[in-house]
Amino acid sequence: MDQRIAEQTIGRLSLYRRLLDTLMRDCVEHVYSHQLAEKTGFTSAQVRRDLMAVDTAGNTRRGYDVGELIRAIDDYLYAPSGQQVAVVGIGNLGRALLTFFSGRRPKLSVVAGFDVDEQVVDRVIHGCRVYHMDEVDRVVAEDEITLVMLTVPSDAAQPAADACIAAGVSGILNFAPARLKVPPSVYVSHVDLTMYLEMVAFFARQKDGDQGD
Amino acid sequence: MDQRIAEQTIGRLSLYRRLLDTLMRDCVEHVYSHQLAEKTGFTSAQVRRDLMAVDTAGNTRRGYDVGELIRAIDDYLYAPSGQQVAVVGIGNLGRALLTFFSGRRPKLSVVAGFDVDEQVVDRVIHGCRVYHMDEVDRVVAEDEITLVMLTVPSDAAQPAADACIAAGVSGILNFAPARLKVPPSVYVSHVDLTMYLEMVAFFARQKDGDQGD
DNA sequence: ATTCAGTTGTGACGCTATTCACAGGATAAG
DNA sequence: CTTATCCTGTGAATAGCGTCACAACTGAAT
Ligand SMILES: NC(=O)c1ccc[n+]([C@@H]2O[C@H](COP(=O)([O-])OP(=O)(O)OC[C@H]3O[C@@H](n4cnc5c(N)ncnc54)[C@H](O)[C@@H]3O)[C@@H](O)[C@H]2O)c1
Ligand SMILES: NC(=O)c1ccc[n+]([C@@H]2O[C@H](COP(=O)([O-])OP(=O)(O)OC[C@H]3O[C@@H](n4cnc5c(N)ncnc54)[C@H](O)[C@@H]3O)[C@@H](O)[C@H]2O)c1
């Protein structure tokens, strides 16, 4: 948390981190930057540059110690005590996210859902209780929730975000096709699946036309 | 489809395009770059630069004609006859995507699902038939499917992608946490939701520490 | 002890995307 | 017709990222 860090480096560190889990499981003790590169699709220089951000030291002959690297990335990437996450809007997408992320990672776990529909409120999905939005203040405080994944209809996105922020949330992963206005102390990232699909459509078409590459 | 285009410009054009729909619905006839910028969160210079890619001409006094701009972006972004999409892996996430995207846009519509689980095969979800993966060759050809959203478990991602590519698909939006090896004529985009969540966690925490900004 | 092969860490470089800034142009008002 | 205003389109400047390339290092082999 010391100097300026490229946004995309954080994303890549997250990918390396998951890869290291599988290496650890396979009892691999050391790994070279070019091996991480190969498995993630980046270049080895990119990997080394990214790892400069974390407190680690590769051995010039054996590469990086897997356990040591895991510790270094964890230290850099995650809060020591972890961060709690809620899913707001338990519709089709919200339910999928809730199911997938609940109790997945110790450092980043989804612990609650919120909705306004009486049909889903108070249900328990994959171990997570769904609360009514009216309870957001209480539950966010009690469960120390700092992040939400926002999967409500786009009209409801801004008010729902406002309610979460008022309750103390400082990070939002927004899936609704709406730009959120938030105070500068809150970080918002926008995942626009329609946009991704249209990008794939365009570039796939372009490749078809170009006859590959 | 003429000269080199920045990948991200395509993404932004997709956002402008959707915004223009709402302007059209509100009977707005003209729009300035700074208005599009305001509503999308980019700068007006960025908007104008992006629109240089499409065949349009803004009026220096009234800005861009909404209808004209929609036509220009559509011409640039979409195949004249549209592109058909399938969802492969009708689990929690696949079902959400299938429901959301089926019959949404005329130029880009989800028309089929694929799975291997007898529980879901042959069911019809939101108007889309779910086929067995064994039928991928036939259905992709018959329905002229060129794109897939891949939402299978990560072990199954590569073989499922291979089957789709063999059937003629040229674009893949992959949600599984696995890097796909594909021939150069196929375009793959990787949406890693775990990574996005971890990025939000990091930067939200950083903001908290920095007291805003 | 020395050599050799193969790696890390990083300064310098280059590329691409974004922003700046302004010439040129359209319109409305006088 | 002329002026004032406020826009677009775009070359030029800047910033942000990724890549190159190599000095420094490590451990193994001899
Ligand atoms: N499902 C997808 O694949 C998909 C794809 C792209 C974008 N999105 C976006 O994600 C969002 C959710 O999509 P979905 O398909 O799950 O929709 P959905 O209609 O299935 O679910 C929305 C849920 O939000 C709840 N809700 C409504 N207002 C609320 C409020 N004020 N506070 C809390 N909860 C509220 C509803 O009760 C419902 O359960 C939408 O904005 C959609 O545009 C979804
Ligand atoms: N659900 C989420 O929110 C979420 C979030 C991040 C990533 N993902 C990724 O998306 C993928 C799907 O997630 P999910 O939660 O929907 O899982 P899921 O288990 O609910 O669904 C997977 C579906 O794929 C089908 N399938 C298995 N093998 C197949 C094959 N060879 N061909 C076709 N279909 C096959 C299964 O029958 C099942 O219906 C996973 O790779 C997961 O890691 C999901």
* List of long-range contacts for B126-133, beta carbons under 8 Å, 24+ apart: B126/B98, B126/B99, B126/B102, B127/B102, B127/B103, B128/B87, B128/B98, B128/B102, B130/B90, B133/B88, B133/B160, B133/B163
Residue by residue, DSSP assigns B49-102 as HHHTTSS---BTTTBEEHHHHHHHHHHHHS-TT-EEEEEE--SHHHHHHHHHHB
Residues 6+ apart with CB under 8 A from B175: B93, B149, B150, B151, B191, B192, B193
Provide mean pLDDT across the span B162-185: 96
Could you tell me if B59 and B154 lie in one domain?
Answer: no
Residue A5 has what DSSP assignment? -
Contact between A88 and A114 (Cβ < 8 Å): yes
Containing structural domain, residue A102: 83-195
Could you tell me if B73 and B93 lie in one domain?
Answer: no
A92-101 and B193-210 helices cross at what angle (nearest 10)?
Answer: 80
Protein-to-nucleotide distance from the CA of A164 to the C1' of D7, whole angstroms: 40
Q: Would the Cβ of B33 be found within 7 angstroms of any atom in strand D?
A: yes
Please list the residues that pair with A64 across neighbouring strands. A31
Could you tell me if B72 and B109 lie in one domain?
Answer: no
Is B201 within 8 Å of A79 when comparing Cβ atoms? Answer: yes
Provide mean pLDDT across the span A169-184: 96
- Assess if residue A208 is contained within a domain: no
| Separation of alpha carbons A27 and A29, rounded Å | 6
- Assess if residue A33 is contained within a domain: yes
pLDDT band at B212 (very low <50, low <70, confident <90, very high): very low
Provide mean pLDDT across the span A76-105: 95
| Separation of alpha carbons B80 and A24, rounded Å | 50
Report the pLDDT value the prediction gives residue B211, as an integer from 0 to 100: 53
Please identify, among A77, A102, A117, the residue that sits at the C-terminal boundary of a domain: A77
- The model's pLDDT over A106-146, given as tens digits with 9 standing for 90+, comes to 899 999 999 999 999 999 999 999 999 999 999 999 999 99
Please report, rounded to a whole number, the percentage of residues in chain B having pLDDT higher than 90: 90
| Separation of alpha carbons B21 and B40, rounded Å | 14
**Does the pLDDT of residue A211 top 60, yes or no?**
no
Could you tell me if B104 and B71 lie in one domain?
Answer: no
Could you tell me if B149 and B191 lie in one domain?
Answer: yes
Question: Which CATH number goes with the domain that contains B21?
Answer: 1.10.10.10
- The model's pLDDT over B62-109, given as tens digits with 9 standing for 90+, comes to 999 999 999 999 999 999 999 999 999 999 999 999 999 998 888 999
| Separation of alpha carbons B204 and A81, rounded Å | 15
Report the pLDDT value the prediction gives residue B210, as an integer from 0 to 100: 63
Six-digit token pair at A49?
């540059």
Could you tell me if B24 and B97 lie in one domain?
Answer: no
| Separation of alpha carbons B148 and A179, rounded Å | 27
Provide mean pLDDT across the span A53-79: 95
The residue of chain B nearest to residue A90, with distances taken between CA atoms, is: B96
pLDDT band at A213 (very low <50, low <70, confident <90, very high): very low
Could you tell me if A16 and A115 lie in one domain?
Answer: no
| Separation of alpha carbons B108 and B166, rounded Å | 21
Strand C: which bases are under 7 Å from protein Cβ? 5-11, 16-21, 24-27
**A175 ligand 1 Cβ < 6 A:** yes
**Does the pLDDT of residue B52 top 50, yes or no?**
yes
* List of long-range contacts for B70-77, beta carbons under 8 Å, 24+ apart: B70/B17, B70/B20, B70/B21, B70/B24, B73/B13, B73/B16, B73/B17, B73/B20, B74/B17, B74/B107, B76/B1, B76/B13, B77/A198, B77/A201, B77/A202, B77/B10, B77/B13, B77/B14, B77/B17
Report the pLDDT value the prediction gives residue B213, as an integer from 0 to 100: 46
**Does the pLDDT of residue A191 top 80, yes or no?**
yes
| Separation of alpha carbons A39 and A58, rounded Å | 18
- Assess if residue A210 is contained within a domain: no
- Among the partner residues A184, A187, A200, nearest to B147 by beta-carbon distance: A200
Could you tell me if A58 and A102 lie in one domain?
Answer: no
Average pLDDT of every residue of chain B: 94
- Assess if residue B213 is contained within a domain: no
**Does the pLDDT of residue B1 top 60, yes or no?**
no
Least Cα distance to A163 among A189, A139, A179 occurs for A139
**Does the pLDDT of residue A179 top 90, yes or no?**
yes
**C1' nearest to CA of A46: which nucleotide?**
D18
Six-digit token pair at A6?
């490229």
Q: Would the Cβ of A109 be found within 7 angstroms of any atom in strand D?
A: no
**A174 ligand 1 Cβ < 6 A:** no
Could you tell me if B116 and B178 lie in one domain?
Answer: yes
**Does the pLDDT of residue A1 top 80, yes or no?**
no
Report the pLDDT value the prediction gives residue B6, as an integer from 0 to 100: 87
Is A191 within 8 Å of B196 when comparing Cβ atoms? Answer: yes
| Separation of alpha carbons B163 and B166, rounded Å | 5
Report the pLDDT value the prediction gives residue A208, as an integer from 0 to 100: 76
Six-digit token pair at B202?
């990091």
Q: Would the Cβ of B39 be found within 7 angstroms of any atom in strand D?
A: no
| Separation of alpha carbons B169 and A172, rounded Å | 34
Question: Which CATH number goes with the domain that contains A122?
Answer: 3.40.50.720
**Does the pLDDT of residue A212 top 50, yes or no?**
no
Could you tell me if B60 and B120 lie in one domain?
Answer: no
User: Which ligand lies nearest the alpha carbon of A116?
Assistant: 1
| Separation of alpha carbons B13 and B17, rounded Å | 6
